[in-house]
Structure 1
């Protein structure tokens, strides 16, 4: 069997089919999904994993057990690692009831963030312990078998991680390897527990950071106060009710990003919009997802974590949703130029007419200028100017100046090397476009090292180059996977990169789709991942690299 197909989903399918034919399956080990803040469907219909579909339910119907762990969607990796650990060791779940298709939800989880924030109180949340969080959700055909289930050496788990979830789980496993010392003795006081994770599969994870943070900062670079006000209004709207009544829970109550006492909505909004309020404190700290997903933020993660556990299998999948920016002028170029509000021929004629001596040969000028349109004269234009250069000039020298003069506090991105595919989710088109032209800074190039690769291809949130794994030293091409002996020591502790799939954006990767074909591809991807990981053998506790 060859795992050399350019499409990563094909390699995943072939590897899954191979292990299905050769290894027994263990569906009793839970598959942990869900690293973006909600468990039950938004508005009763939109699932994080599947959109209008329900991937956890589909996996459950195939006999797998799935745990959805709702962690803070915009929180730092430390906060999310603490939340995830607590969910998996709490011993109780909200349960999806197949007969009613409903979730029996409970909000009784208490999460501690330890002493991590004590060293910098000015940029830290007000509370280090928060209660009333939603339980993780269990999808299982036999939920009675998971009463009092707690993640442990004897109750292991698989992890499928989308986006930042991959870095969160990496941090969590590193804490299980090393412990956290005095920072959090309750959760991470004992090292050497990384064998609790059998497999980790990452989908579109910014293992080396993402330029999406630079894109957003550039777009809003002239409007810091307005950005805080905008976030303040948005956060107030979704956080006014208590956690058990929120349509979407940011899980930032410990930052005081919540209603205080009998506060009115107007008072809460004013507090959130203040430059000295909790939203400004949170956004200006480095303790949030915006910083933690930046290239510099992930570099900081590298310095304080282990890259991998030698007890765990790792797989990564990369995606992009781009096409190259056209290099040739389109066939309608001449037609477009002729339709310019002030035709170029008329402009040149008026300039020449303004010169007295030229008026003598008016008829000659008309003959020459009219001939330009009908001959190969316009063929000169593509030789002098590329279409991308023209779009860049219009953006930088016309539109951005106009926006600045009319007091709009935004900056439009210039065109890049790539454009969004025509099936990209509309909300992501602008991000795909902007990231396709976002250059790396000098500092970022130093951080990333000499083998930069292509940082313009992206899926709308994460650069494709960043999705392979955290460092080349622990990333291998799936073509080298030793399929004859998956229990060999060399197989664990390495990110096996399955390849790149070029027809999914960041939302498609979790099944929030536009095209029906994409929806089926996403479902098949999760089925194949489940087939693969549930057949890989467990490993008893072994000492890991520090």
Structure 2
């Protein structure tokens, strides 16, 4: 009898100990889920950084997305790179903006395209950045292409620069071009023209877009164009705003520059032929999570079947919307084939171009993220290209969106990923 009681006590004790241990195990697992890597926001074509436009935010307009994310516990940095340079140049600038140092575009690249090898010097917003301290990159519009280019440089480096260095060993080479740097945990693209936008197939339209964007933002904020603080960051091309030079003069100097004839410029990279070249060079990496967000405000005309602006499209984007909504190309010698699947758009980018780069791994996101694939979200109806950053409320029909919930979701998504 005594033996039975003793055994019963032992068994009961073991059961209690087992169940007492379970909650502790679950709590410990919950604490280990996710990550706290910093988020870096990368602006698109025509974008700007902190201190420009008298504090009117690229990320939120009158709202402040970075400050909001910080208040929610998400460490966030705002990158500032050239608003009109090529994806390659912007990706190199982004590297140094995060890590710190003097921008080195590469000796071979600089000679090939005819600009200076070195650019500005940055302190670095996250100098400890390395494989043990990775980041999440979030890019709007062209910013999504720039983040892809940076990941490619980090992991693969530049064979062009390595080959040049072998022939010219006395000339230094940036460690960026060595590759083997798995420093990015995820990439999130927002309204990004992964396959280009037909609106950029003529560089003059992109030049006009940048000019109109700046003028419209200045108008919304009430800033005089003469006193506008805006930096094209084209020092490496020898283009700077001189002391006391009016913005009108500075803008004219940029717009009339020969840089637009180069393939090392945003207008080319954003075109459908330029994007096709980029997609051949820049692959989706197997160790990185990729997400994409796509909007649409165009609507199908019952008369023509083409796409036209809806009531949700900013006035500023009506002309590009209509252009994208009817453009077609049937001769492959003129560029990639463009059919009516390209007509639905967000005012600047066709929805079909925003999901993922053609020919690279992709899937509709179902809540379970996969590395090495583009996990694309469903189309966000009634969101146009600039709604995603909450700027330019130019008519009563198109009030600036409250973008906080979107960026809260993005931040929570990337921070829920396993380390």
Q: TM-score, normalised by structure 1?
A: 0.60
Which residue of 2 is the match for residue 471 of structure 1?
358
Q: Quickly say closer, same or farther: Cα 1:218–1:249, change in 2 above 3 A.
A: closer
**Residues of 1 paired with 2:275 and 2:206: CA distance?**
22
Q: Quickly say closer, same or farther: Cα 1:527–1:23, change in 2 above 3 A.
A: farther
- Of residues 477, 496, 506 in structure 1, which corresponds to 2:375? 496
**Residues of 1 paired with 2:236 and 2:83: CA distance?**
14
**1:34: Cα distance to partner?**
2.5
Note the alpha carbon deviations across 1:98-136, whole angstroms, 9 max, x for none.
xxxxxxxxxxx631211243453xx522x2212356x66
**Residues of 2 paired with 1:265 and 1:65: CA distance?**
37
Which residue of 2 is the match for residue 365 of structure 1?
none
Q: Quickly say closer, same or farther: Cα 1:124–1:64, change in 2 above 3 A.
A: same
Residue 275 of structure 2 corresponds to residue 288 of structure 1: no
Which residue of 1 is the match for residue 189 of structure 2?
202
Deviating 4+ runs (over 6 angstroms): 515-518
Secondary structure, aligned partner of 2:178: coil
Q: Quickly say closer, same or farther: Cα 1:41–1:418, change in 2 above 3 A.
A: farther
**Residues of 2 paired with 1:26 and 1:32: CA distance?**
17
Q: TM-score, normalised by structure 2?
A: 0.76
Note the alpha carbon deviations across 1:2-56, whole angstroms, 9 max, x for none.
xxxxxxxxxxxxxxxxxxx978565631001022442215433420110111000
Secondary structure, aligned partner of 2:273: helix
**1:181: Cα distance to partner?**
3.6
Secondary structure, aligned partner of 2:174: helix
Residue 73 of structure 2 corresponds to residue 56 of structure 1: no
Which residue of 2 is the match for residue 160 of structure 1?
138
Instruction: Determine if contact 2:35/2:418 at 8 Å carries over to the other structure.
Output: no
Secondary structure, aligned partner of 1:205: coil
- Of residues 171, 176, 181 in structure 2, which corresponds to 1:188? 176
Alignment of 1:25-44 (within 5 A): 28-36=36-44, 37-40=47-50, 42-44=52-54
**Residues of 1 paired with 2:73 and 2:329: CA distance?**
45
Which residue of 1 is the match for residue 86 of structure 2?
76
**1:311: Cα distance to partner?**
0.8
Using CA pairs below 8 Å that are at least 6 residues apart, which structure has the higher relative contact order? 1
- Of residues 291, 304, 324 in structure 1, which corresponds to 2:281? 304
Instruction: Determine if contact 1:312/1:493 at 8 Å carries over to the other structure.
Output: yes
**Residues of 2 paired with 1:472 and 1:182: CA distance?**
24
Segments of structure 1 that go 5 or more residues without pairing to the other structure are: 1-20, 91-108, 139-145, 221-226, 235-244, 328-387, 389-415, 539-546
How many residues matched?
362
**1:317: Cα distance to partner?**
1.4
- Of residues 101, 105, 120 in structure 2, which corresponds to 1:113? 105
Q: Which has the larger radius of gyration?
A: 1
Secondary structure, aligned partner of 2:285: coil
Secondary structure, aligned partner of 1:465: helix
Secondary structure, aligned partner of 1:454: helix
Alignment of 1:85-234 (within 5 A): 85-90=95-100, 110-120=102-112, 123-125=113-115, 127-131=116-120, 149-181=127-159, 183=161, 185-193=173-181, 195-214=182-201, 217=204
**1:84: Cα distance to partner?**
0.6
Instruction: Determine if contact 2:41/2:137 at 8 Å carries over to the other structure.
Output: yes
Between 168-177 and 511-520, the greater mean CA deviation after superposition = 511-520
Q: Quickly say closer, same or farther: Cα 1:110–1:513, change in 2 above 3 A.
A: same
Instruction: Determine if contact 1:115/1:182 at 8 Å carries over to the other structure.
Output: no
**1:61: Cα distance to partner?**
0.5
Residue 302 of structure 2 corresponds to residue 326 of structure 1: yes
